[in-house]
Amino acid sequence: MSPSVLHVQLDAYLSIREALGFQMRAERTLLRDFVNFVESHGVGIPIRAYLAVEWACALSARRGPGGAAQRLSMARGFLTYLRATIPETEVPDSALVASFRRPKPYLFTPDQIRTLIQDAKKARPESPTPSYLIHPHWVVGQHRITGR
């Protein structure tokens, strides 16, 4: 299978996904980069899992903590499609690269909220402001209700 066949397969994959209604702008760019990466390494067909992991992790420093996992997920989708025509194609496990995890939020207890509101009622703004902002406890209460 010549290297250009990978580009043909990628175009077919992207066309199918777009026909199903998926937005593939970012994937198109990144998966073309992946195919170029595979071709530049000259390892041939079938594509091995280590190559997808290597590509996903290579540029993750520019994309942030979850970048590598996101790139690997995109490559996995294409490799799964490719495996239908080339059964020897390896699809790396999604757990090989850790994804970004949001920190656990701190939740105030009802007593802490009461204390915050009481302390906010004691505070006074230094400049004239609209009446609803004169009461800092209003802001704390709104934060408690909306979480924002």
135 versus 55: the higher-pLDDT residue is 55
Contacts by 49-53, CB closer than 8 A, 24 or more apart: 49/90, 49/91, 49/92, 49/93, 49/96, 50/92, 52/76, 52/79, 52/90, 52/91, 52/92, 53/92, 53/96, 53/97
pLDDT value for 50: 86
Task: Kindly state the average pLDDT of the residues 129-133.
Answer: 56
pLDDT value for 86: 87
Cis geometry, peptide bond prior to residue 46 (ω within 30 degrees of 0):
yes
Whether the predicted pLDDT of 1 surpasses 50: no
Q: Is the pTM of this model over 0.75?
A: no
User: How far is C-alpha 130 from the chain's CA centre?
Assistant: 40
